[in-house]
Amino acid sequence: MAGDLGLLLLRLSMGGTMVIQHGWPKLSGFADRMDKFSDPLGISAPVSLALIVFAEFFCAVLVVLGLWTRAAVIPLLIGMGVIVFVVKSGQTFGERELPILYLCAFLTLFFTGSGRYSIDRVSFR
**Sign of the CA dihedral running 96, 98, 104, 109:** negative
Per-residue pLDDT of the chain (125 residues; tens, 9 = 90+): 888 899 999 999 999 999 999 999 999 999 999 888 988 988 999 999 999 999 999 999 999 999 999 999 999 999 999 999 999 999 999 999 999 999 999 999 999 999 888 887 765 55
- Please give the pLDDT value at position 124: 53
Number of structural domains in the chain: 1
Position 123 in a domain: no
In the DSSP assignment, the letter for residue 104 is: H
The pLDDT value given to residue 57: 97
Cα separation, 42 vs 55, in Å, equals: 18
| Residue 121 covered by a domain | no
Write a three-state SS string for 9-42.
HHHHHHHHHHHHHHHHHHHHCHHHHCCCCCCCCC
Residue 52 belongs to a domain: yes
The pLDDT of residue 2 is 87
Within 8 A by CB and 6+ apart from 80, the residues are 99, 100, 102, 103, 106
Q: Give pLDDT, residue 99.
A: 95
pLDDT, residue 21, reads 96
| 105 belongs to a structural domain | yes
- Say if residues 70 and 110 touch (Cβ distance below 8 Å): yes
- The size of the chain, in residues, is 125
Whole domain around residue 101: which residue ranges? 2-115
pLDDT value of position 97: 95
Measured distance CA(107)–CA(110) in Å, rounded: 5
